[in-house]
Amino acid sequence: MTTPFQRARSEEQRAVRRQAILDTAAAMLTEMPVARVSLNELSRRVGLAKSNVLRYFESREAVLLELLDIALREWLDLLDGTLATAVDPAGGPYERGDQLAGAITDTLAARPVLCDLISAQAAVLERNVSPQIAAECKHATMANVTVMVRLIRAHVPELDEHDAMECAAAALMSTGAVWTHAQPSAAMLAAYKADPTLAAMRLDFTATLRELLEVLITGLLTRALRR
């Protein structure tokens, strides 16, 4: 049941409403994948009519893109602390590269909601937003990638700014792709169970992403060290 709508009279009240919508959507993502989060259900849970939710966010996708930015910033804080102990500064570049790949993978695997949001970003979330929201989303992404580049270079300084940027961008794109393929449908799960010869096609998210990132970083390092 929705509550009677009362227009927020101040920026503080608007901020409180926006935060309530974000908190409700975040709670829904702990229960269901991004694809199942609907504006109707979000409106019902937050206690406002859909038209009133749209006073604060232009679409369901705009809500989820903001949650993606928040989740990325939280993950980068976690990654920063993890790298401090996961990467041995006395190790060689390839050893440190593998340790970096492992830390990125493990911290992402521990945050399935973030991985689901990353996997939906380009194909779904950026498809139903205005140019203004699209630009805000890309600026936020650029800021987060810049932080990731700094973390990469702090532990693998053999990679220059350009290489670290390629590493960060490829890591995030790989995360989305691997996550999608590592979440098979019920029909695919049944097919794997019925035909053991297909079992090798099922991807393990953590193992697959770690291997991809190790190969990526090794390749970037090899190219950098040849210069």
H helices, E strands: number in the chain: 10, 0
pLDDT in the model for residue 196: 86
C-alpha–C-alpha distance, residues 53 and 63, integer Å: 10
Burial-class residue 101 by CB neighbours within 10 Å (0-12, 13-18, 19+): buried
Cα-Cα end-to-end distance for the chain: 65
As a whole number, mean pLDDT of residues 4-9 equals 53
Q: What is the pLDDT of residues 170-226, one digit of tens each?
A: 999 999 999 999 999 999 889 988 998 888 888 999 999 999 999 999 999 999 988
The alpha helices in 87-160, defined as continuous H runs, are: 93-109, 112-121, 131-155
Least confident of 10-14, 80-84, 114-118, 204-208: 10-14
Average pLDDT, whole number, for the chain? 94
Q: pLDDT at residue 65 above 80?
A: yes
- State percent of the chain over pLDDT 70: 96
pLDDT in the model for residue 4: 47
Please spell the DSSP secondary structure of 160-219, one letter per residue.
Answer: -HHHHHHHHHHHHHHHHHHHHHTS--HHHHHHHHH-GGGGGGSPPHHHHHHHHHHHHHHH
Which residue, 40, 50, 45, 42, is CA-closest to 67? Answer: 42
C-alpha–C-alpha distance, residues 24 and 6, integer Å: 19
Tokens of 167: 């590493």
Q: Cα 184 to chain center, whole Å?
A: 19
Burial-class residue 81 by CB neighbours within 10 Å (0-12, 13-18, 19+): exposed
Q: What is the pLDDT of residues 95-104, one digit of tens each?
A: 999 999 999 9
Instruction: Count how many residues are written for the chain.
Output: 227
Question: Residue 6: pLDDT band by 50, 70, 90 thresholds?
Answer: low
Tokens of 114: 């973030």
Q: What is the pLDDT of residues 17-62, one digit of tens each?
A: 999 999 999 999 999 999 999 999 999 999 999 999 999 999 999 9
Give the dihedral of Cα atoms 210, 213, 68, 42; nearest 10 deg: -40
